[in-house]
C-alpha cells in the first residue's frame, strides 16, 4: 500500500507544477490544481466554472462527437458546433449527384428540414471518479484489471441510463471512472460548401497561415422526457445544462485561450527506441501504402462526379494521416527528437544508478526495453503492411467485419445474426465503385506480397496464388470480382435474403481474408502479444520511476480520448529563418489565394461578391476585414478537432481544427516555441451562417456577447 500512496502523492504534487503554461492536456476534474497558472494568463473563471457536478459548468458544454471528434453546445435548443471535417461523413452520406451538399453546402431553414444521421451519437460527461485504489494490492498492480473495471462500471450506472468506462492513466499508475450520457438522435443543421469548409484542401492541410471555414452545425434531440432516445419525429431539441455564449469582441495577441475536448492519443513518454521505430519503419511504410491508394482514388474521383462524392470522405481520412506521417517524420528529424530523448534517458538512468534501492527496482528497465524493441523491429514492418496494406483493401476489411458480425451464423446457423449485419453491408456498398476497388485491390495486395518476407506470407500467396492463378494478381482479382459477395451488391443481397454458410466458405475474398488472418495470427500473433505485454509492463514501471524522478516537473497523462483542458494564449511564432507568422488571417487572404484552376483554392462566387461589396455585417475586426482563422499555443492532438476555443470569461472565440506543420512531432514531444493550435474564428462562422447562407435565424437562438 505504501507504493500506491507514494504514486498518488507524486501525481498530486506533479500536477501542481507546470514548466510551460501552454503545454499539457489536463483532466478537468483536477483543474483546481492548475488555477494559479490559468489566473496568471488572465483566466477569470473558477475551477468550478470549468468542472462541477453540482452546477452547470464547461464540462456540460463539451461533447464527444461520434467517438472521433469533439463538439460544443452553442444554444439552449441543442445546437452543436463542430468541424466541417468531423461532420463530413454525414454530409457525404446525404449527398448525391442531384443533391451535392459536399459541393453546394446544406442549410436547414427550420427544424423540420434538419437531416437525421443513423449511428451518429453525442456523449456528455456526467462525472469522473478516482478509482485507483481498487487496482493495487499492497502497492502492486492487480492482474485482473478488466474484472475490476467491469464491477466498478456496473455499480456506477446501476439504475440509470448512463454508461461508464474506466480508463488508465500514467501507464496504469492511476485509474479514473468516467460516467457518460449518450444521445442518439443527432441531425445535420448546416454545413458550408467544401470550397469554404475545406478551403486550401490537401495543399494547406496542417499548414499556417490558414483560411479554412472548418465548421458545421448539428442539433441534438431527446425524447419528450429530455433523456436519450432513438430517432423519432416526436423527439424535441435537447436543452443542455449549459451552452457557450459567443464573443463578438474578437482576439488579440497574448489573449488567454483555453481548449476543451476529447484529446485522442499522444505518446509523450515514449522512449527513443519507440521514436526511431516510428521514424525508420512505421511512418515510411504507411506513407508508401497510402500514397498508392490515394493515387488510384484521386484518378477515379477526377473522372466521375458520382465517384467523387462516393469517395470524398474516405479519401479525406486517408489523405489526412498520409500527410501527418510525412510531417511527423520531417519534424522528428528537424527537431532531433530521438537524440533529445536519449539525453533525457541517460539522465534518468544516472539517477536510477545513484541509489541502490532505485537500482534494485528500476535497474533492469534499459535492458528490458532493448530486448523488447529488438523483437519489435523484426515484426513491425510486416504488421504495418498487414494493417495498412492487406486490410487497407476494403473488400478484405468488409469480409473481416462480416466474419465478426456473422460469427453466430457461421458457428450455429443463427440467421438472426445475418439481419444484424445488413446495415453494415448497405453502408459498405453505398460508397463502393467496382472498377476503383479492383484497382486498389490489385495494387495493395501486390504491395503486401512484395513488402513482407515469404516466410510470413499466408499459404494463399505461397500456394493458391502460385498454383491456381499462376502468381498473377490480376487473374485472382478477376476471380474475386466476378464471384465474391463482397464485390457485388446483387450477390450480397442474394446472400442476405437466403443466407447459406457454403456461400461464405466458397467465397474467394472471404477465404483469402480468413486464411491470411489466421496464419498471420499464428506466425506473428505470439510475438506481437509478447512485445506488447513486455512494453506495457516496462512502461508501467518506467512511469512509476519517472514520476518519482521528476517530482517538480510537468507531468500530465498522455491523451487517451478522455476530456482534457489545455490553456495558453493567442500567439504568433517564428516558423523558420526569416519567416514570422502573425496570429490572425482574414478574408482578404482567401481572395489572394483564389485560383479557379485549382480545386483546393476555388472561391464561391457569393463569397467573392460579399468581399467585393464589403458586406461584412457586424463581423469585421478593427482592420475592417473579416477574420477567418487564428492560432494559439494550446496543446492539442487528434480528437480535439471541433473543440471550443474559449476566452478568459468562458465565451466561445473559435473552433479548433488543426495543428501546424512545423510541430508535427507534437504527439511525441511538445515544442513550446513552434507548436500551435489552428482555429476558425467564431466571427467567420457567424459571417458565413448569416451573410453567406442566409440562415441568420440560427443566430437568434445563440447567446451573442
> Which residues form the catalytic set?
85, 214, 641
Do the Cβ atoms of 240 and 76 come closer than 8 Å? yes
C-alpha closest to that of 682 among 196, 59, 81: 81
C-alpha closest to that of 551 among 399, 351, 699: 351
List C-alpha distances in Å: 197 to 17, 82, 190, 200, 616. Answer: 39, 11, 11, 9, 18
Residue bearing cell 454508461? 163
Main-chain phi, psi angles of 252, to 5 degrees: -135, 160
Q: For residues 275 and 321, what is the distance between their CA atoms, to the nearest angstrom?
A: 17
Pairing of strands 256-263, 236-237: unpaired
| Cβ atoms < 10 Å from Cβ of 498 | 10
Those residues whose C-beta lies under 8 Å from the C-beta of residue 39, and which sit 6 or more positions away, are none
List C-alpha distances in Å: 662 to 376, 380, 412, 490. Answer: 29, 27, 55, 49
Those residues whose C-beta lies under 8 Å from the C-beta of residue 440, and which sit 6 or more positions away, are 293, 296, 297, 392, 393, 394
Q: 223, exposed or middle or buried, with CB in 10 Å at 0-12, 13-18, 19+?
A: middle
Give buried/exposed letters for 355-392 (b at 16+ CB in 10 A, else e).
eeeeeebbeebbeebeebbeebeebbbbbbbbebbbbb
Q: For residues 344 and 334, what is the distance between their CA atoms, to the nearest angstrom?
A: 18
Radius of gyration of the chain (CA): 26
Those residues whose C-beta lies under 8 Å from the C-beta of residue 614, and which sit 6 or more positions away, are 624
Do the Cβ atoms of 260 and 634 come closer than 8 Å? no
Nearest-10 Cα torsion for 320, 326, 329, 332:
-60
C-alpha closest to that of 319 among 294, 336, 298, 346: 294
Do the Cβ atoms of 626 and 619 come closer than 8 Å? yes
505-510: list long-range contacts, CB under 8 Å, 24+ apart.
507/399, 507/483, 508/476, 508/479, 508/480, 508/483, 508/484, 509/395, 509/396, 509/399, 509/480, 509/484, 510/399, 510/402, 510/403, 510/484, 510/485, 510/486
Main-chain phi, psi angles of 329, to 5 degrees: -65, -40
Query: H or E element: which one contains 181?
Result: strand 174-183
Amino acid at each position: 500500500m505504501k507504493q500506491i500512496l507514494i504514486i498518488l502523492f507524486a501525481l498530486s504534487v506533479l500536477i501542481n507544477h507546470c514548466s510551460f503554461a501552454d503545454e499539457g492536456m489536463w483532466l478537468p476534474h483536477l483543474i483546481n490544481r492548475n488555477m494559479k497558472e490559468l489566473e496568471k494568463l488572465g483566466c477569470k473563471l473558477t475551477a468550478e466554472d470549468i468542472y462541477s457536478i453540482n452546477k452547470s459548468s464547461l464540462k456540460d458544454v463539451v461533447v464527444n462527437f461520434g467517438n472521433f471528434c469533439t463538439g460544443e453546445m452553442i444554444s439552449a435548443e441543442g445546437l452543436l458546433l463542430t468541424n466541417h471535417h468531423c461532420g463530413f461523413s454525414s454530409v457525404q452520406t446525404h449527398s448525391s449527384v442531384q443533391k451535392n451538399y459536399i459541393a453546394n453546402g446544406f442549410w436547414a431553414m427550420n427544424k423540420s428540414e434538419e437531416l437525421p444521421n443513423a449511428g451518429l451519437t453525442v456523449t456528455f460527461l456526467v462525472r469522473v471518479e478516482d478509482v485507483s485504489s481498487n487496482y493495487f494490492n499492497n502497492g502492486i498492480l492487480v492482474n485482473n484489471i478488466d474484472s475490476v473495471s467491469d464491477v466498478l462500471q456496473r455499480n456506477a450506472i446501476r439504475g440509470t441510463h448512463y454508461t461508464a468506462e474506466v480508463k488508465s492513466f500514467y501507464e496504469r499508475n492511476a485509474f479514473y471512472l468516467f460516467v457518460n450520457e449518450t444521445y442518439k438522435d443527432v441531425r445535420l443543421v448546416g454545413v458550408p460548401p467544401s470550397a469554404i469548409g475545406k478551403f486550401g484542401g490537401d495543399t494547406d492541410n496542417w499548414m499556417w497561415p490558414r483560411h479554412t471555414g472548418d465548421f458545421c452545425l448539428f442539433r441534438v434531440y431527446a425524447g419528450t422526457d429530455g433523456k436519450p432516445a432513438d430517432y423519432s419525429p416526436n423527439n424535441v431539441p435537447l436543452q443542455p445544462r449549459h451552452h457557450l455564449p459567443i464573443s463578438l469582441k474578437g482576439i488579440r495577441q497574448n489573449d488567454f485561450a483555453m481548449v476543451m475536448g476529447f484529446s485522442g492519443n499522444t505518446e509523450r513518454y515514449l522512449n527513443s527506441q519507440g521514436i526511431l521505430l516510428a521514424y525508420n519503419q512505421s511512418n515510411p511504410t504507411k506513407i508508401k501504402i497510402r500514397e498508392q491508394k490515394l493515387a488510384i482514388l484521386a484518378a477515379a474521383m477526377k473522372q466521375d462526379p458520382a465517384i467523387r462524392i462516393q469517395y470524398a470522405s474516405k479519401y479525406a481520412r486517408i489523405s489526412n494521416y498520409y500527410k501527418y506521417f510525412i510531417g511527423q517524420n520531417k519534424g522528428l528529424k528537424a527537431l532531433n527528437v530521438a537524440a533529445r530523448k536519449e539525453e533525457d534517458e541517460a539522465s534518468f538512468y544516472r539517477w536510477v544508478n545513484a541509489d541502490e534501492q532505485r537500482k534494485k527496482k528500476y535497474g533492469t528497465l534499459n535492458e528490458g526495453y532493448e530486448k523488447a524493441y529488438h523483437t519489435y523491429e523484426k515484426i513491425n514492418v510486416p504488421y504495418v503492411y498487414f494493417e495498412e496494406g492487406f486490410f487497407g483493401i476494403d473488400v478484405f476489411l468488409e469480409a473481416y467485419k462480416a466474419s465478426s458480425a456473422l460469427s453466430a451464423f457461421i458457428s450455429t446457423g443463427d440467421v438472426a445474426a445475418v439481419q444484424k449485419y445488413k446495415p453494415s453491408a448497405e453502408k459498405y456498398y453505398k460508397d463502393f465503385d467496382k472498377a476503383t476497388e479492383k484497382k486498389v485491390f490489385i495494387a495493395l495486395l501486390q504491395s503486401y506480397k512484395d513488402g513482407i518476407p515469404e516466410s510470413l506470407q499466408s499459404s494463399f500467396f505461397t500456394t493458391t496464388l502460385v498454383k491456381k492463378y499462376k502468381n498473377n494478381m490480376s487473374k485472382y482479382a478477376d476471380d474475386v470480382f466476378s464471384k465474391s459477395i463482397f464485390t457485388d451488391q446483387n450477390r450480397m443481397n442474394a446472400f442476405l435474403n437466403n443466407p447459406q454458410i457454403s456461400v461464405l466458405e466458397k467465397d474467394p475474398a472471404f477465404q483469402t481474408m480468413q486464411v491470411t488472418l489466421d496464419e498471420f495470427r499464428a506466425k506473428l500473433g505470439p510475438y506481437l502479444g509478447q512485445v506488447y505485454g513486455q512494453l506495457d509492463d516496462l512502461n508501467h514501471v518506467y512511469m512509476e520511476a519517472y514520476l518519482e524522478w521528476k517530482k517538480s516537473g510537468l507531468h500530465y497523462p498522455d491523451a487517451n480520448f478522455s476530456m482534457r483542458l489545455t490553456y495558453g494564449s493567442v500567439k504568433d511564432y517564428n516558423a523558420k529563418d526569416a519567416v514570422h507568422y502573425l496570429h490572425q488571417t482574414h478574408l482578404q487572404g482567401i481572395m489572394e489565394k483564389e485560383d479557379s484552376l485549382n480545386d483546393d483554392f476555388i472561391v464561391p462566387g457569393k463569397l467573392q461578391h460579399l468581399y467585393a461589396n464589403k458586406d461584412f455585417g457586424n463581423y469585421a475586426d478593427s482592420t475592417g476585414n473579416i477574420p477567418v482563422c487564428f492560432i494559439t499555443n494550446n496543446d492539442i492532438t487528434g480528437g480535439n478537432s471541433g473543440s471550443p476555443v474559449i476566452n478568459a470569461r468562458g465565451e466561445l472565440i473559435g473552433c479548433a481544427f488543426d495543428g501546424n506543420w512545423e510541430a508535427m512531432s507534437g504527439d511525441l514531444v511538445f515544442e513550446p516555441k513552434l507548436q500551435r493550435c489552428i482555429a476558425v474564428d467564431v466571427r467567420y462562422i457567424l459571417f458565413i451562417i448569416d451573410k453567406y447562407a442566409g440562415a441568420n435565424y440560427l443566430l437568434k437562438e445563440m447567446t451573442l456577447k
